[in-house]
Amino acid sequence: MIAPQRKRRRVEIYFVLYLVALVLLMPDRIDPSQAGVDTQAIVNARLEFSPDRMRLTCKLQRDSLVGMRVVSLDSLNVIRYTGTVSDLELSARIEEVETGQVLTVQPGNSPTPLFALEHQPQRNAVVFRWNPPLDQASVRTYRVTISGSGVPVRTSGANSGDYDEIPTGLRMTGSTQFVLTTEVDDASAPTVITIAGGRDTLVLRDTTLRAAPTLGEFWIEPARDVVAAVSQRPWTNRLSIGGADPARDLVGLPSVRVIGEQIGDVQRTTDQRTILLSGRAPRTGSVTVEVRVVRRDGQTKTASFVVAAHAMPPAKVPDVIYPGVDYVVDPRLPAIENVRAVIRDGEREIASATESVIRLRVAARDTGRTLTFERTVDGVRDGAPEAIQVRNFPAPTIRSVNRGSDSRTKVVVVQFYSGDRSVNRPRLRIIDGNATDVKRLAGNLRASSSERPTVSWLETFEVSQRDPARPFTFRMQAFDERGAQSVPWVEDN
């Protein structure tokens, strides 16, 4: 008799998969080492960088006498940061846009003197310095990325436990960007860089999971404590704001009060994370501008600066110049920003200065031209232009005739013109009369005056009598190497 076969139990594969899915969905066991983590501190942890300027510009101009000359230079940028951190590590990544070359700079450690980075923790600020080279100046654009990383400091509040802490090794990072540009002869780089929003900040957690943070420390600071401007001419000053976005966190624009002479309305405009103030300087002396800013949480900050008026003194400009001679024009510019002196040939600018003298030398081909000298403030001409005539050297002149060492000789003094006393020296000739033997007297060549530059000289000659029995009368004329002649001189004494 055959024993009956035992039936095998069948387990559905779908049931097994269902069990596996349940196991995978079970929560992990909480790590005891993370039980006391300050979750709110992680949520609130953030590090933000805000530069005072989004663009630093170096404007250069080629000068035939001194090479490359600096017209203006923004050499410093202050980057403020918000966020309570310790062990802050900073770096600046400088990328030349045209070539792609990259250089990294850290506080106290720069491979080149062109860039420097300084951390000022007492101000919650990073200072970036730029010193572009003049010997290799060209149109360039750099993108600068300031990056920071620090350990967030644990928050303490009414709902925080005594043992709440931030996990060891957690760091928060932030970054921002700005641009450096070099312009030569008003030519800027063709590359256009766009930095969206002026800020690039990394946040540790999704901000939708946390409550709105407090605005933090609030401060305002003018870029210049003293603004120097020409009397009754425009001035500007920039007000940096920390702990608030001027476009979002302020209760309207700042209020302004002027202490001293009434200078009219002070204009206020928002520019990135700063407020730009502008107005007109007083007629004389100085005024104090007091600015009051209110943040949307009710906090108020006040700052002030001085606007000082400077008179524009008369410039020292020659009205006539000669070719081949070096002239020094003193524009006597006051110590204010955006002031400039220019010498033009028509619309063409041939020399300029922003704080020192102008050295000018014209060629012989410029003879007959009329140059103009003018001074500008913020690009607007101040006063009437002054004409400078370019003329050829005048013809020689017989200045005097005196008795010589005896009654048979006379000493003749001739004035001639040249940028160099050894060039274009005159000669003397007898036209007619009782005179002969013209002789140049050595050792008597000298400047005709103490004026600088010296373009006029005195040469001395001796003339002898031909016939002692006749009166010592004659006519003579001086001429120089260019062929220019003096008016004939009649000697009848």
d(CA 42, CA 210): 10
> 489: which 2 tokens?
């001189």
> 431: which 2 tokens?
């036209």
d(CA 320, CA 182): 37
d(CA 355, CA 331): 8
> 343: which 2 tokens?
């010498």
| Residue 14 DSSP SS3 | helix
d(CA 251, CA 137): 45
* pLDDT on residue 210: 41
d(CA 64, CA 437): 48
The Cβ of residue 45 has, within 10 Å, a number of other Cβ atoms equal to 26
> 108: which 2 tokens?
């106290």
* DSSP classification of residue 213: P
- Long-range CB contacts for residues 287-290, cutoff 8 Å, separation at least 24: 287/258, 287/259, 287/260, 287/261, 287/263, 288/258, 288/259, 288/260, 289/237, 289/256, 289/257, 289/258, 289/259, 290/256, 290/257, 290/258, 290/259
Classify burial at 448, counting beta carbons within 10 Å of its beta carbon; exposed 0-12, middle 13-18, buried 19 or more. Answer: middle
Angle at 301 between CA 299 and CA 304, to 5 degrees: 170
d(CA 100, CA 448): 62
Angle at 287 between CA 281 and CA 292, to 5 degrees: 105
Q: Which of 249, 240, 239, 49 is nearest to 144 (CA)?
A: 49
Q: Let me know how long the chain is.
A: 493
* pLDDT on residue 478: 95
* pLDDT on residue 298: 87
Contacts of 76 (CB under 8 A, 6+ apart): 56, 127, 128, 129, 130
Integer Rg of the chain from CA: 40
Q: What is the dihedral of CA 132, 136, 140, 142, to 10 degrees?
A: -40
Bridge-based pairing state of the strands 255-259 and 219-222: unpaired
Bridge-based pairing state of the strands 226-230 and 300-310: parallel
Structural domains present in the chain = 39-155+166-204 (2.60.40.10), 219-310 (2.60.40.10), 320-390 (2.60.40), 397-491 (2.60.40)
pLDDT in tens, the chain (493 residues): 445 555 555 556 666 667 767 766 665 554 544 445 555 555 556 688 889 888 888 888 877 666 677 888 888 899 988 877 788 899 999 988 877 788 899 998 888 888 999 999 888 899 999 988 776 667 888 899 999 888 887 655 544 444 345 666 677 888 888 998 888 876 655 544 545 444 433 333 333 334 444 566 788 889 889 988 888 888 889 988 888 888 788 888 889 999 988 888 899 988 777 889 999 888 888 999 999 999 888 889 999 999 988 878 889 999 999 999 999 999 988 877 778 999 999 989 999 998 889 999 999 899 999 999 999 887 888 888 999 999 999 999 999 999 988 989 999 999 999 988 888 999 999 999 999 889 999 888 999 988 889 999 999 999 999 999 999 999 999 999 989 999 999 998 7
First-to-last alpha carbon distance for the chain, in angstroms, is: 179
Q: Which of 274, 263, 280 is nearest to 238 (CA)?
A: 274
User: Phi and psi at residue 16, in whole multiples of 5°?
Assistant: -65, -45
* pLDDT on residue 472: 93
Tell me if the pTM is above 0.85: no
The Cβ of residue 265 has, within 10 Å, a number of other Cβ atoms equal to 10
d(CA 344, CA 321): 14
Measured between alpha carbons, how far is residue 213 from residues 41, 43, 45, 210, 243 in Å?
11, 10, 10, 8, 12
DSSP letters spanning 309-358:
EE--PPPB--SEE-TT--EEEB----S-TTEEEEEEETTEEEEEESSS-E
- DSSP H or E stretch at residue 15: helix 13-25
Contacts of 395 (CB under 8 A, 6+ apart): 479, 480, 484, 485, 486
d(CA 312, CA 434): 61
Q: Which of 196, 152, 197 is nearest to 173 (CA)?
A: 152
> 268: which 2 tokens?
């206020």
